[in-house]
Amino acid sequence: MIRKILQNSIFEVLEKMFFVFLEPLEGRNQGYRWAVSISFSGDVNGKLTAYFDNEISSMMVQNMLSVSEIEVTGKLQEDCMKEAVNMISGDFLRNFDSSRVFDLSLPIVDADADGLLADEKDEENKVVLTFDSGCGKLGVVLRLS
Amino acid sequence: MSFNVLIVDDSNAMRSVIKKIISISGFRMDNCLEAGNGEEALDVLAHEWVDVIISDINMPVMSGLEMLARLKKDELYKQIPVIMISTEGSEERIGEAFSLGAGGFIKKPFVPEELRLKLHEIIGVGNDGEYEDDKEDSSELDF
């Protein structure tokens, strides 16, 4: 159930705010450039980390801000990725249990993420999802505690 | 008649998106001011008058809810409508925003129409961007 709620939240945010349409993938956990993490606390604590490659990150900026590829800057990419992770977490938690209050941290960007997702696998209290958009890759890891 | 808006969000990209939505929705903006958190917003308000504030909640330095609470305690600022746009979507958090005096709450992710309708509802601007007050004035002139 958690996997389905998370996947729906990812689709909702990427489609509605960034006009990026994703296809779920098996594997393909290499080649990401950024890892953006956010933690949440409340009745349930956890951390969500999203992995982006340069292509999908650039496309998100272009679509969200209606700018051309040459106008995309690293700062805008970070901004959009942080906003995406913030929204995915908020949407997931709202659909997970809207009667509970969760406190979200501010998102943190790691700009050297290649290989970090390679060893991640589904476990109890951990969900790993990977997607292809046709214009780049996205991976998401959710840990609950 | 045009209006001044203050957009409060720590994301430069999100501020740009909100500004663009207001522009393409036909509202006549005189001045669009921006702040990266609640504290910056209070600094802006010390020097500029705005007709509506659109604010995120989860921001560094000062959150949107803390800013809202301070505004509503201030005789000068408490009449300014504040629309919260946030990922924070629990029933309790939304209730907290309204109890502090928020004029509206939009959950992220959102579509432009949601913001346009909320602005229309709060500041009384017609679909064509014309103020409801202006329309009344025009009809009086017709007589």
Q: Which chain B positions have a beta carbon within 8 Å of A87's beta carbon?
A: 87, 108-109
Q: Which chain B positions have a beta carbon within 8 Å of A57's beta carbon?
A: none
**β-bridge mates for residue A25, sequence order:** A130
Q: pTM of whole model > 0.80? A: yes
Q: Which chain B positions have a beta carbon within 8 Å of A80's beta carbon?
A: 13
Per-residue pLDDT for B142 more than 70?
A: no
* Start-end of H helices in A1-145: 2-18, 54-65, 74-96
- B17 at A interface, C-beta within 8 A: yes
Residue of A92, A94, A102, A106 to mutate, interface with B, max B Cβ within 10 Å = A94
From the list A108, A119, A43, the residue with the least C-alpha distance to A81 is: A108
Start-to-end Cα distance in chain B: 21
Q: Which chain A positions have a beta carbon within 8 Å of B16's beta carbon?
A: 65
Query: What's the pLDDT score for residue B143?
Result: 33
- A76 at B interface, C-beta within 8 A: yes
Per-residue confidence band for B127, with pLDDT thresholds at 50, 70 and 90: very low
Per-residue pLDDT for B133 more than 60?
A: no
Q: How does pLDDT run across B63-84, given as a tens digit for each residue?
A: 999 999 999 999 999 999 999 9
Residue of A86, A95, A98 to mutate, interface with B, max B Cβ within 10 Å = A86
Mean pLDDT of chain A: 90
Length of chain A: 145
From A14's Cα to the closest Cα of chain B, the distance in A is 9
Q: Compute the distance between CA of residue A109 and CA of residue A81 in angstroms, rounded to an integer.
A: 8
Q: Which two tokens stand for residue A110?
A: 């790691």
